[in-house]
Every structure is written in structure tokens, then in C-alpha cells.
Amino acid sequence: MKKTVLAAVLSTAFAAAYAAGPDAVVIGAGGAGLSAAVTLSDLGRSVVVLEKMPMIGGNTVRAEGGINAAETPLQKKLGIPDTIDQFYKDTMKGGHNLNDPVLLRTMTTHAKDSVAWLESLGADLGAVGRSGGAKYPRAHRPTDGSAIGPEVIRVLYKAAKDRKIEMRTQNRVVELLTDKSGAVAGVKVSTKDGKTYTIDTKAVVIATGGFGANQDLLVKYQPKLKGYATTNHPGATGDGILLAEKIGAATVDMKQIQAHPTAAPNGTLISESVRGDGAILVNADGKRFTNELLTRDAVSAKELEQPGKFAWVVWDDATRQTAKLMDSYKKLGLTVEGNTVADLARAMNVPAANLEATMAQYAKDQVAGKDSQFGRPELLQPLTKAPFFAVKVQPAVHHTMGGLKIDTKAEVLNTEGKAIPGLFAAGEVTGGVHGGNRLGGNAQADIVTFGRIAGQSADAWLKSLK
């Protein structure tokens, strides 16, 4: 009886606490959502984060390479002559000039502030590497070369917990509620046991990620992707896009879908940073076939031209020692290895003479400082230190560049180009930033930069209502 009374008291107290609803609701507990939530909390706002999956992190926790930013203190310390303008130019070129210029300028200008903000929260971003399509090293990552995503989620989750932000997992938003004027009025939520409830709020941030794990949507916009594997987590099904479309939101670039060139057959992503740190790609004949630092779409296209439409990522022990990340692939059972190049060739089932010739030529070019075959701009290692390692890879759906149309304030725009009052979005659920192809390291720059902007804009909107 006492337990029943206590439960009733607690239930009443909980309902009373949110009788008027929190100031804001954030949908999605990945990097963009948590960035928005922490920003809102620091601005004095009450916020509830709703996540449909059993755990937080989304695709962010799977990210491996780094967070791109230009003109950072670390770059200046290392003598890297990068500029925000070069960052912009590289990204526009990588996106085939389809990027929204004002959104891209916003990201490239403020990415360095995002890095500084993460570091202020305790992130280790003490190393910097180079990703495909970048003129200079600008992918900031943990000092030991480990994956960026877990580090970003670690610090954001801790920040959210420290601020006592309520995060409800297995709570899926099924409807965005609006008032008579069309402004956001709340959300309808479904719990894991099938019950529904509503939260009244005047500001909603959608940060639900892309649709890389939704085969129906992928095929709708790109039929050629039917049957493709994906590097995305199971929850990346485009929910936020579909929800916002129902209240009149516009979308952009939905046909722009990226295949990552280095996914293991089981879908595990082999980070672009592995190539950035010195690894090469060879085909089933044991021969290189491309500049490994080209953009993802270009490398994927070259890979699909090879026998069997797959490749091998190859590195040596010296390269392995530069990045802790490489050891994780061995632990997952994805690598084959050999004490000599011939041993590695046998493990890969490629012609030993061809692979030995390939490796010898690459070592010669590395010493000379010029890739005589494909013009790769950086040859960091000669790849001569045993043991040698390789992982079989193939293209897989990785990033959906299209999504909700937003402005520089992260306001979601309707089909008439006007902001939907009280609705904001950040991260892969949005479109326009990356154009026709996303460069490695830009996802983290996007989600943190626009996540923070969404939080700031939601706060400004709430102030305007008073």
C-alpha cells in the first residue's frame, strides 16, 4: 500500500514538473542532439532529450576519423598553413559545387570554435590528420589516434549528465504537434511498451540523423543502391525528415547519397584515417589502382571498376603504431597479416609477385617524395616494416547528404522557404551543407557546429515569445 501511494506521489510530482512542458525538446541523442541540449542547458533552458534507440550515440559513436577545422591552435603549433577559406574551397570542390554556400561558410568558419568547445568540455583532440579531399591536415582527433566518435559522445554525455539533462531512451517521437498558427507546440511520443504521451514545448530540435539504414528510402532516391550494405546504425532511418515533412518542411539534395569505399564485408567501417595515416589500396591482382586520398565518391567509383568490385587496404607495422584505431580491426577479426609481403599476399590470395612489386614501387616513391603512379600528395610511410596487415573492403552506403532544408540559424524551412516557428534541426537529418559528397571529418564539424547553433537559435526563439 505504501509503495502504491509513493508511486502515485512520484508520478504526480513528475507530471507537475512538466505540466507546462520543458523549454525545449531535442529529438535524437547523437552528437548533434547532445550538442544542442548542452548548449540549451548552459543558456538556462530546461530540456528533454528523446532517443528511440536503447542507447545514446547514434551514428556519431561509430565515427572514426576526426573533426575537421581550420585555423586552430593545434594547426598553428604544428605549422600547418591551413585557412578557413581553403577549408571552404576543399569542401565545395568535394561536394561538386552543390553545397549551399551560406551553410558551408557557417560550418567552415565556426568549426574551430566547435573544437575549442569540445576541448573545454574535456575532449582529447591533440592530434591532427589528413582526410581525402583536404589540402592540409585538419581532422582533429584523440592524441593516440583512436576514433573521434566515442570521444565526442563521451564528453557530451558527461556534460549532459553533469547538467542533469533528462535523456529518455526507447522513446520515439511519432508526431510533431503545432498550434493554429503553425508554430511548434509539442511532440507525441511512443514508449517501448507501446504507450504514448505528449510533451508540450515551444521549441523542438530535430537531430535524428540520416536515412542510410532505410533501404526503402535509399532505393526511392537512388535505385542503384538496392542491396548495398550500410555502415549506419539500425536507427538511421530518416525519422526526423518524415516527421517534419508532415508539417510542411522542405527537403534538399535527397538524391545525394554517399558510398564509403572502405567498409568490411560485415559493414564495419575502415576509417579514412587509415589511408590518411599511410595505408594504400590494392585490387585482387595485388596492384594499386588510385590515389587513396581522393574523395570518397571518386575512390568508390575506382574500386567498383576493379575485379570483383572490391579492394584491400594494406598497411605495415610502422603505420599501425601511428594510430591505435588499426588495432581494433585486428581484434574484430577483420585483418589478415604476414611477416613478409609474400606471406601477406598468400593470406590475401593475390599474386605475391604483383604485391611485392607494388610495395617496392611505393617504397621507392615514398623515398623520392613523389607518387609516380597516381599522384598521391602524401606518402607518409614507405610501408616496409613487418608485420604487414590488410583488410578486404567494398563500397557501402555511408552518408546521406540530403535532408531537411535549414538556414544559417538551423531553422527548418517550409516548402515556401519560410522558417517553421520553433522548429530547428542539425546534423545528418539536414541537407545542403555537404552538397554531392561529404568529405571525411566534416560530419563531426557539421553536427557539433550546427547542434550548437540550433541550441542558441532555440533559446533566441523562446526569448522572443516573452
Summarised one tens digit per residue, pLDDT across range 327-383 is 889 999 999 999 999 999 999 999 999 999 999 999 999 999 999 999 999 899 999
Regarding predicted confidence, which is higher, 138 or 322?
138
Q: Does 19 reside within a domain?
A: no
- Res 218 pLDDT > 60: yes
- Res 438 pLDDT > 90: yes
Percent of the chain clearing pLDDT 90 (strictly above): 83
Task: Summarize the confidence of residues 423-447 as an average pLDDT.
Answer: 97
- Res 247 pLDDT > 60: yes
Q: Does 4 reside within a domain?
A: no
Question: Which of 357, 375, 396 is the endpoint of a domain?
Answer: 396
CA neighbor of 54 nearest in space, from 220, 168, 223: 168
Please tell me the predicted confidence (pLDDT) of residue 301.
87
Is residue 411 located within the same domain as residue 354?
no
Question: Which of 379, 396, 413 is the endpoint of a domain?
Answer: 396
Please tell me the predicted confidence (pLDDT) of residue 226.
81
Q: Does 6 reside within a domain?
A: no
- How far is Cα 108 from Cα 94, in angstroms, rounded to an integer? 14
Neighbours of 319 (CB within 10 A): 23
Is residue 190 located within the same domain as residue 115?
yes
Q: Does 248 reside within a domain?
A: yes
Cell digits of residue 100: 549551399
The model's pLDDT over 16-56, given as tens digits with 9 standing for 90+, comes to: 333 468 999 999 999 999 999 999 999 999 999 999 999 99
Q: Does 16 reside within a domain?
A: no
Decide: residue 73, CB within 10 A, 0-12 exposed, 13-18 middle, 19+ buried: exposed
Is residue 292 located within the same domain as residue 330?
yes
Task: Summarize the confidence of residues 205-226 as an average pLDDT.
Answer: 94
Question: Which of 348, 363, 396 is the endpoint of a domain?
Answer: 396
Q: Does 242 reside within a domain?
A: yes
Task: Summarize the confidence of residues 234-254 as an average pLDDT.
Answer: 98
Per the structure, the complete domain to which residue 451 belongs is given by 24-256+401-465
The model's pLDDT over 92-110, given as tens digits with 9 standing for 90+, comes to: 999 999 999 999 999 999 9
Q: Does 18 reside within a domain?
A: no
Is residue 409 located within the same domain as residue 392?
no
Contact 145, 273 (CB under 8 A): yes
Task: Summarize the confidence of residues 56-75 as an average pLDDT.
Answer: 95
CATH number at residue 411: 3.50.50.60
Contact 319, 381 (CB under 8 A): yes
Task: Summarize the confidence of residues 78-83 as an average pLDDT.
Answer: 98
- Res 111 pLDDT > 90: yes
- How far is Cα 283 from Cα 217, in angstroms, rounded to an integer? 31
- How far is Cα 102 from Cα 450, in angstroms, rounded to an integer? 13
CA-based diameter of the chain, in Å? 82
Is residue 236 located within the same domain as residue 287?
no
Please tell me the predicted confidence (pLDDT) of residue 8.
37
Is residue 241 located within the same domain as residue 105?
yes
Please tell me the predicted confidence (pLDDT) of residue 208.
98
Is residue 453 located within the same domain as residue 334?
no
Task: Judge whether 62 counts as a catalytic residue.
Answer: no
CATH number at residue 303: 3.90.700.10
- Res 2 pLDDT > 80: no
Amino acid of residue 324: K
Sign of CA dihedral 335, 338, 341, 345: negative
Is residue 85 located within the same domain as residue 153?
yes
Q: How many domains does the chain have?
A: 2
Q: Does 93 reside within a domain?
A: yes
Annotated active-site residue in 45, 130, 172, 296: 296
Cell digits of residue 163: 547538467
Is residue 316 located within the same domain as residue 425?
no
